[in-house]
């Protein structure tokens, strides 16, 4: 949440997928980061904060009808919590001197109430911006001209791109993103939509042609370049790219010059290390418990894991080729 307070900025995690941003905030920068989020749905401006203990258990007249027009989020448990929330809602609305037209907008919900029983606080505010729940649907793999069975979903692709592009960089410069196993171009599309110059490498000719069609379909042709090459022999100069994210082939999809998936990944990581800038970041997926010791020996760390289905759980790895340089 965005608190209308001055001073240095502080971010607190109130619960899963619920964060409080307190202090002086650049709204443009905040919205840019919010748009990049895979899970964020609303940006809220908090207008007032009260202690829950200040509220009696008697509901204000008519406050039950306001539940349908106010988005309510409750953290924690407490006896009579429905009556407490009802009381808080009525007090906030009456204190704000809101008209019926403001409380009941014609389209959607305008106001927001967060009741945090763990901290004994309640927050009342307005919804500054809501993101469409279907904003990833229009670029799902099924809607592209070229579909590959193993294509990453837009959410997972954006998740990888976000992890790999957290490093420093000027907003005025075009940064380069690389996927050495680009397939049908899921990560390239997400990176290009964020303003990156996206370069994809693929060993097979058909996916290269298909990714080109997908880039044109999304209006990203000028931001995406494709190279028909083996990832173990990247035709790139040293220190050429700012960030890298990829999902290497494994299982039935691991056909790469007859090499095993582990060998393919190790060879690619060596070439990736050369192409990545010193302060760059490399993130990739790999089956859970697959080549863990070997990957750690290569300077990689496991961030988290993602369960796809009963027979596939993938780990998210970050390559720590070089530690970020300290202050001069």
pLDDT at 38 over 50: yes
Reported as a pLDDT band with limits 50, 70 and 90, residue 63 is low
pLDDT of residue 81: 79
C-alpha distances out from residue 78 to 19, 70, 72, 81, 89, Å = 22, 21, 16, 5, 16
Note the pTM of the prediction, 2 decimals.
0.77
Torsional class of 231: left (φ above 0), alpha (ψ -120 to 50), beta (otherwise): alpha
% of the chain exceeding 70 in pLDDT: 78
What is the mean pLDDT of the segment spanning 196-209? 95
> Domain coordinates of the chain in residue numbers?
2-130, 137-319
Pairing label, strands 197-202, 224-228: parallel
pLDDT tens for residues 257-270? Answer: 667 888 888 889 99
pLDDT digits (tens, 9 = 90+) for 222-265: 999 999 999 989 999 999 999 999 999 876 655 556 678 888 88
Superfamily, domain 137-319: Vaccinia Virus protein VP39 (3.40.50.150)
Give the model confidence (pLDDT) of 123-134 as tens digits. Answer: 888 888 888 778
CB atoms within 10 A of CB 165: 23
**For 80-104, how does the pLDDT look when each residue is reduced to its tens digit (9 = 90+)?**
777 788 888 877 777 766 554 554 4
């Amino acid at each position: 949440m965005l608190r209308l307070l001055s001073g240095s900025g502080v971010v607190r995690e109130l619960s899963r997928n619920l964060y409080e941003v307190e202090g002086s905030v650049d709204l443009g920068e905040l919205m840019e980061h919010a748009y990049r989020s895979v899970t964020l749905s609303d940006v809220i401006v908090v207008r007032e904060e009260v202690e829950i203990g200040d509220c009696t258990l008697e509901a204000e007249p008519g406050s039950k009808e306001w539940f349908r027009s106010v988005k309510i989020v409750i953290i924690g448990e407490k006896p009579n919590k429905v009556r407490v929330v009802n009381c808080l809602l009525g007090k906030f609305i009456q204190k704000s001197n809101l008209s019926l037209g403001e409380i009941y907008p014609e389209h959607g919900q305008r106001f927001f109430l967060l009741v945090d029983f763990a901290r004994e606080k309640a927050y009342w505010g307005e919804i500054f911006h809501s993101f469409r729940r279907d904003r990833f649907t229009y670029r799902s793999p099924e809607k592209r001209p070229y579909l590959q069975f193993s294509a990453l979903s837009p959410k997972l692709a954006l998740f990888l791109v976000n992890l790999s592009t957290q490093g420093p960089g000027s907003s005025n410069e075009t940064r380069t993103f690389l996927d050495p196993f680009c397939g049908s171009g899921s990560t390239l599309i997400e990176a290009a939509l964020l303003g990156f110059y996206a370069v994809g490498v693929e060993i097979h000719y058909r996916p290269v042609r298909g990714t080109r069609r997908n880039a044109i379909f999304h209006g990203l042709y000028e931001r995406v370049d494709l190279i028909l090459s083996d990832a173990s022999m990247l035709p790139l100069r040293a220190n050429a790219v700012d960030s890298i994210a990829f999902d290497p082939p494994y299982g039935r999809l691991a056909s790469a010059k007859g090499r095993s998936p582990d060998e393919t990944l190790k060879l690619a990581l060596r070439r990736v290390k050369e192409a990545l800038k010193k302060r760059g970041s490399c993130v990739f997926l790999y089956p859970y418990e697959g080549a863990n010791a070997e990957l750690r020996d290569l300077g990689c760390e496991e961030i988290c894991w993602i369960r796809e289905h009963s027979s596939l759980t993938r780990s998210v790895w970050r390559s720590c080729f070089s530690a970020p340089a300290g202050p001069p």
